[in-house]
Amino acid sequence: MLLLRRCHGLTRCGPLNIQRHQVTPAVASCAVRLLSSREDQRWYQRAHGPSWRHALAGLLAGTGAVLACGLHHHHKAEQADTTRVQAIEKTSSLPIFTQKEVYSHRSLENGVWVTYKGGVYDITEFVSMHPGGDKIMLAAGGPLEPFWALYAVHNSEHVLEMLSEYKVGELSAADVKKQQSVKSSDPYSSDPERHPALRINSLKPFNAEPPSEILSDSYITPSAIFFKRNHLPVPAVDPASYQLRVEGLPGELTLSLEELKTRFPKHTLTATLQCAGNRRSEMNKVKQVKGLNWGIAAISNATWGGARLRDVLLAAGYGPDVARQACHVQFEGLDKDVTGTTYGASIPLNKAVSEEGDVLLAYEMNGEDLPADHGYPVRVVVPGTVGARNVKWLGKIIVSSEESSSHWQQNDYKGFSPGTDWDTVDFKAAPAIQELPIQSAITTPADGAAVDRSAEEVTVKGYAWSGGGREVVRVDVSVDGGKTWQVAQLRSGEKGPEPSPPPGRAWAWKLWEVTAPLPPDAQELEIVCKAVDNSYNMQPDTVPPIWNLRGVLSNAWHRVKVTIREDDSEE
Amino acid sequence: MLLLRRCHGLTRCGPLNIQRHQVTPAVASCAVRLLSSREDQRWYQRAHGPSWRHALAGLLAGTGAVLACGLHHHHKAEQADTTRVQAIEKTSSLPIFTQKEVYSHRSLENGVWVTYKGGVYDITEFVSMHPGGDKIMLAAGGPLEPFWALYAVHNSEHVLEMLSEYKVGELSAADVKKQQSVKSSDPYSSDPERHPALRINSLKPFNAEPPSEILSDSYITPSAIFFKRNHLPVPAVDPASYQLRVEGLPGELTLSLEELKTRFPKHTLTATLQCAGNRRSEMNKVKQVKGLNWGIAAISNATWGGARLRDVLLAAGYGPDVARQACHVQFEGLDKDVTGTTYGASIPLNKAVSEEGDVLLAYEMNGEDLPADHGYPVRVVVPGTVGARNVKWLGKIIVSSEESSSHWQQNDYKGFSPGTDWDTVDFKAAPAIQELPIQSAITTPADGAAVDRSAEEVTVKGYAWSGGGREVVRVDVSVDGGKTWQVAQLRSGEKGPEPSPPPGRAWAWKLWEVTAPLPPDAQELEIVCKAVDNSYNMQPDTVPPIWNLRGVLSNAWHRVKVTIREDDSEE
């Protein structure tokens, strides 16, 4: 019934309006059916003019629906008829542009340029036809690759052909191999290039989060837009001379990168990392706190590959004798401040050595070498534990009876009562944050968005995760500010539902989605989500009672307000 | 300043009023000072008449203060002067009373009788002098022993002497050795006698909780008043013929009680057990749920002794091969319903076999054989896990690829969204409760109590605990309904502060206390508490969003209302 309504809606809107529709699997299925009937195709073509194929294929691309109806052959056969496509088609030698020139084209007025595999594309005309809507503007001035990793359906021959129509030049060779060897007196001179879509909270050190509206579009977050939280400049580490030192055990150990990769079995796991300050901006609305003003996206999910910390500690002589004296494993980064002090943190020894703790010395992220911003060549991945303990650019591991003495372990990343202020705070009184509490947030719709009354329902999406390996078992969603609740559908795994991990080892987030009917007389919706983990921990209802002076651990129910737009044409 | 005020208050109240005062260590210290000066003693005696020593010593007994000022010698020397004491002193043969007769004396009108080590005491006259106030009435008609275990200072020669003055008879020999061998057609005929102070939610099966106002007076809950949650009649188990069967492992194993005690090392640990339905009554106030209407005291703390489940499973051939196939350890009780179906539950295998899981096959509770109500002769203690998995009267252990198929594992003890009702509930959709979420409650003052304006402050006490071995690290208390918060002092351990347990192995609750100034213009206080564990999990603010049809997992902030009584005599 709703499906038919939507199909009906499609027949009456021009291509410029397509992207306004929420593209659900049901709509995609409808679109596939349209394409599989010659009569339907002609009817749709009449409604949408020459660009009908772009609009429809784009609609499919945005959903992940499989294009199984022979579109490609039809497209080839009819290509000659489409004068617009012919006009743009270019195959001969093209001008060379620098990344800077590309970056200057980030608006409909100046043109919207993107790069892809060394090519430069002017997609200005396509922007209004993109079924994902404004999201395409996030790629403006930069590479498409991370977005296409997000929306895997783009990687089809069909979409590549469509893109080729917009090619206007080649990216300079110098920009293709990114210049990471710049030297200067700026301690941040070896920081890498970053993706322009990132929302920057701080440039030096670099701290940025992905746009929240695309965060839950992909189970695995592409590395380029994975949230970045650096405390210090990114160190330039030479992989050939890199050494990892292990101290505090009977047999002290120094490993080259090659030795780390070859002497120990490689393990991979998918784990979500979250900054302790994720959603801090909501605490700032209650009362100003100290810290970066993170939105809801200081959290991302990746697949990590590396040696198990446990195996390395055993190789260095870890045994029961050690456990009787030591309680902590400290990590030192190679990133330094101007005084030479390195970043540092520690985790409990039992997490480090347990077979079920799954702590990695990771040298791969999403199947590739770690990017510079994520700790190249080696970082610690402590699944289930706050980002701050997942030390990047790892230089040293120290097994000790003491926690790390670093500022970030002792005087930061701790939670306090809302009544504690900077005059009364005693950092020794609170434990260092390790496992994080249950968390969830709404990624779609965005706060302040509008939905059409005629849609009759609203689809809400988001993420949910809990620390300590506790699996998210339920997400409740309300569209009336928390009075009544619906249970969302959970999605785990990159390629569809996966079985539950063993108890206590659920390291990755779950994405969720629910479609709720619009309350008949509401003019505004307050959409709320709250998650539950398998220890039945719940999120607190409101922010003020969990407010704390550092603005960490912000995990109250997430709320967005949405207006309902009366659709006059339907009345 | 406040101490002086209170001492001053004491000089003006007669003995009948002493028990109205909150007895804090400060007051006790003041009382000790009174006793240590001859002049002060005379002054106090003038104010209180012949019973001054009872009143003062009682005041001390209620606080745990050490009586270190030679009171006993003075008492002996002056005893001859106290005519009232002489009149009651009885040493010759006394009448014999049955428990039933004792039980009929539970009011000031009919007399208040108690038993202690086979003696019967009429303490009617002492009730008004008891510094612990009305709490003494909880012992009326029953044994004193569990209360004296709560307030260890009673076990002094001085207090015993005082008690001896009230002796009126001896308990019949038949009642002294409790009659547990009664046979009848009632399946509950072998249920044991219970302490009359318990607040009964259900008689058959027996379900009862201790009075909440005394729950946090003792770090270890005496077994007699430990909350009792039976699903079926208590089975009469003969320890001589008792057998524990272990199945599902390469070497199946049957152990006698003696073998369990002698073949495996004995471990002891202190662990809090909590019923999934604790605080259900607060959910019932939102909307009726199914289940026993527990208050805040379906939670207690005891020291358990027994063999480690891990050791028994290893003896039966548990090894890595088993772990590849099995995921659960099922427990079967010897308690049966009329069809012969036994109580059953299961826990994840990794909890059962982990050295850090600390699961016990317990045969001792608080240093004695398990009481009948708590699973004599053997129960499972699964620390950090909901009470329902701590199977009592353990008959069988089964290592399996499946969870227990029992009703209590499959169709009960699960959490659901507030929007789920009995028409829509799908018990398969939720995981069986294992670890419980963060919990806390206020035990003092009681809801509806009054505090005097002249006291200027209110002392709030309670308990806090979290499942999964997560340590409680902070309790916030508000006296203005949650607008502002103070941090409470935490107490762990029976005999003063103890060091933090290893991470993930904090099995016992913390008791807490805070003294807050009375807001100058308030006429009523809404006192609220909320706890935080070391994964920084917080309690949800309100009950309705966590309401669920079975009324389990009720862990919203606990709230009590207290009125402020204007003290005219001070004005």
The residues of A that are catalytic are: 130, 154, 229, 275, 413
The distance of A415 to chain B (nearest Cα, Å) reads 7
More confident residue, A88 or B300: B300
Indicate yes or no: CB of B437 within 8 angstroms of CB of A535: yes
Q: Could you say which DSSP state residue A438 is in?
A: P
Indicate yes or no: CB of B417 within 8 angstroms of CB of A351: no
In percent, the amount of chain B with pLDDT more than 90 equals: 66
Indicate yes or no: CB of A351 within 8 angstroms of CB of B503: yes
Q: How far apart are CA B280 and CA B171, in angstroms?
A: 39
Q: In the prediction, which pLDDT does A526 show?
A: 98
Report whether the peptide linkage leading into residue A377 is cis, meaning its omega lies within 30 degrees of zero: yes
- What's the complex ipTM? 0.74
Mean pLDDT of chain B: 83
Determine the average pLDDT of the residues in B41-60.
41
Indicate yes or no: CB of A438 within 8 angstroms of CB of B537: yes
Q: In the prediction, which pLDDT does B156 show?
A: 78
Answer yes or no: are the C-beta atoms of A411 and A386 closer than 8 Å: no
Report whether the peptide linkage leading into residue B445 is cis, meaning its omega lies within 30 degrees of zero: yes
Q: How far apart are CA B34 and CA B28, in angstroms?
A: 10
Q: In the prediction, which pLDDT does A556 show?
A: 98
Identified catalytic residue from B44, B376, B413, B463 = B413
Tell me the residue type at B119.
Answer: G
Q: In the prediction, which pLDDT does B149 show?
A: 65
More confident residue, A91 or A316: A316
pLDDT tens, position by position, B177-197: 763 333 346 788 889 999 999
Residue of B nearest to A533 (CA): B437
Of A33-47, A285-299, B340-354, B402-416, the poorest mean pLDDT is in: A33-47
Of B176-190, B225-239, B419-433, the poorest mean pLDDT is in: B176-190
The distance of B522 to chain A (nearest Cα, Å) reads 20
Residue of A nearest to B535 (CA): A435
The verdict on whether B407 is a catalytic residue reads: no
Residues 6+ apart with CB under 8 A from B141: B102, B103, B104, B105, B106, B113, B114, B196
Residue of B nearest to A438 (CA): B537
Q: How far apart are CA B68 and CA B57, in angstroms?
A: 12
Indicate yes or no: CB of B541 within 8 angstroms of CB of A539: no
Provide the pLDDT confidence category of residue A540 given band limits of 50, 70 and 90: very high
Q: For residues B391, B397, B398 and B404, what is the CA-based torsion angle, rounded to 10 degrees?
A: -10
Q: In the prediction, which pLDDT does A333 show?
A: 98
pLDDT at B80 over 60: no
- Residue B434 token pair: 């294992």
The distance of B387 to chain A (nearest Cα, Å) reads 14
Indicate yes or no: CB of A434 within 8 angstroms of CB of B486: no
Q: How far apart are CA A453 and CA A518, in angstroms?
A: 8
Indicate yes or no: CB of A535 within 8 angstroms of CB of B417: no
pLDDT tens, position by position, B462-478: 999 999 999 999 999 99
Indicate yes or no: CB of B415 within 8 angstroms of CB of A539: no
- DSSP per residue, A493-520: STTS--PPPSTT---S-EEEEEEEEPPT
Sheet holding A472-478, edge to edge: A450-452, A558-565, A524-533, A472-478, A486-487
More confident residue, A403 or B498: A403
The verdict on whether B413 is a catalytic residue reads: yes
pLDDT tens, position by position, A164-184: 999 999 999 888 876 333 334
Of A167-171, A187-191, B353-357, B395-399, the poorest mean pLDDT is in: A187-191
pLDDT at A54 over 50: no
Tell me which residue in A350, A430, A538 faces B437 most closely, judged by beta carbons.
Answer: A538
Backbone angles phi, psi at B564, to 5 degrees: -100, 120
Provide the pLDDT confidence category of residue B276 given band limits of 50, 70 and 90: very high
Neighboring chain A residues of B327 at a CB cutoff of 8 Å: 502
Provide the pLDDT confidence category of residue A128 given band limits of 50, 70 and 90: confident
pLDDT at A473 over 50: yes
Indicate yes or no: CB of B434 within 8 angstroms of CB of A537: no
In percent, the amount of chain A with pLDDT more than 70 equals: 81
pLDDT tens, position by position, A129-141: 887 677 788 889 9
Residue among B557, B470, B464, B537 at smallest CA distance from A553: B537
Of A14-18, A104-108, B170-174, B429-433, the poorest mean pLDDT is in: A14-18
pLDDT tens, position by position, A433-464: 999 999 999 999 999 999 999 999 999 999 99
Determine the average pLDDT of the residues in B481-507.
90
The distance of B302 to chain A (nearest Cα, Å) reads 22
pLDDT tens, position by position, A309-320: 999 999 999 999
Residue of A nearest to B531 (CA): A417
Indicate yes or no: CB of A415 within 8 angstroms of CB of B539: no
The distance of B59 to chain A (nearest Cα, Å) reads 34
Neighboring chain B residues of A348 at a CB cutoff of 8 Å: 502-503
pLDDT at B393 over 90: yes
Answer yes or no: are the C-beta atoms of B495 and B468 closer than 8 Å: no
Q: How far apart are CA B366 and CA B378, in angstroms?
A: 14
Neighboring chain A residues of B538 at a CB cutoff of 8 Å: 437, 540, 545-546, 555
Backbone angles phi, psi at A490, to 5 degrees: -100, 145
Neighboring chain B residues of A481 at a CB cutoff of 8 Å: none
pLDDT tens, position by position, A348-380: 999 999 999 999 999 999 999 999 999 999 999
More confident residue, A39 or A355: A355
Residues linked to residue B489 through DSSP beta bridges, in sequence order: B513
Neighboring chain B residues of A530 at a CB cutoff of 8 Å: 545
Per-range mean pLDDT, top range of A378-382, B22-26, B56-60, B232-236 = A378-382
Q: In the prediction, which pLDDT does B568 show?
A: 63
Residue of A nearest to B544 (CA): A483
Provide the pLDDT confidence category of residue A385 given band limits of 50, 70 and 90: very high
Among left, alpha and beta (phi > 0; psi -120 to 50; other), residue A553 is: left
Provide the pLDDT confidence category of residue B151 given band limits of 50, 70 and 90: low
In percent, the amount of chain A with pLDDT more than 90 equals: 67
Neighboring chain A residues of B537 at a CB cutoff of 8 Å: 437-438, 537
Indicate yes or no: CB of A437 within 8 angstroms of CB of B504: no
Neighboring chain A residues of B534 at a CB cutoff of 8 Å: 431, 434-435
pLDDT at B18 over 50: no
**How many contacts (CB atoms, under 8 Å) link A and B?**
120
pLDDT at A143 over 80: yes
Determine the average pLDDT of the residues in A118-132.
87
pLDDT tens, position by position, A187-235: 888 899 999 999 999 998 999 999 998 999 999 999 999 999 999 999 9
Tell me which residue in A467, A534, A541 faces B542 most closely, judged by beta carbons.
Answer: A541
**CA-angle at A128, arms to A123 and A133, nearest 5°:** 100
The 10 Å CB-count burial string (b at 16+, else e) for B151-179 is bebbebebbeebbbbbbbbbbbeebeeee
Question: Among positive and negative, which fits the CA dihedral A140, A145, A147, A152?
Answer: positive
Q: In the prediction, which pLDDT does A153 show?
A: 64
Residue of B nearest to A415 (CA): B536
Indicate yes or no: CB of B535 within 8 angstroms of CB of A485: no
The distance of B534 to chain A (nearest Cα, Å) reads 7
Q: In the prediction, which pLDDT does B39 show?
A: 44
**Test the A interface: residue of B474, B479, B537 with most A CBs within 10 Å:** B537
- Residue A521 token pair: 């007389």
Q: Please state at what angle helix A157-164 crosses helix A71-78, rounded to 10 degrees.
A: 30
Estimate to the nearest angstrom the gap between the alpha carbon of A231 and the chain centroid: 20
Identified catalytic residue from B130, B195, B308, B550 = B130
Indicate yes or no: CB of A535 within 8 angstroms of CB of B473: no
Q: How far apart are CA B415 and CA A473, in angstroms?
A: 10
Indicate yes or no: CB of A417 within 8 angstroms of CB of B474: yes
Tell me which residue in A327, A420, A541 faces B541 most closely, judged by beta carbons.
Answer: A541
Determine the average pLDDT of the residues in B380-397.
98
pLDDT at A82 over 70: no
Provide the pLDDT confidence category of residue B155 given band limits of 50, 70 and 90: confident
The verdict on whether B536 is a catalytic residue reads: no
Neighboring chain A residues of B329 at a CB cutoff of 8 Å: none
Answer yes or no: are the C-beta atoms of B428 and B409 closer than 8 Å: no
The distance of B353 to chain A (nearest Cα, Å) reads 13
Residue of A nearest to B419 (CA): A485
pLDDT at B34 over 60: no
Identified catalytic residue from B6, B21, B48, B154 = B154
Indicate yes or no: CB of A540 within 8 angstroms of CB of B541: yes
Q: Could you say which DSSP state residue A357 is in?
A: T
Provide the pLDDT confidence category of residue B407 given band limits of 50, 70 and 90: very high
Indicate yes or no: CB of B437 within 8 angstroms of CB of A351: no
Identified catalytic residue from B229, B231, B279, B280 = B229
Tell me the residue type at A181.
Answer: S
Neighboring chain A residues of B418 at a CB cutoff of 8 Å: 476, 484-485
Neighboring chain B residues of A418 at a CB cutoff of 8 Å: 476, 484-485
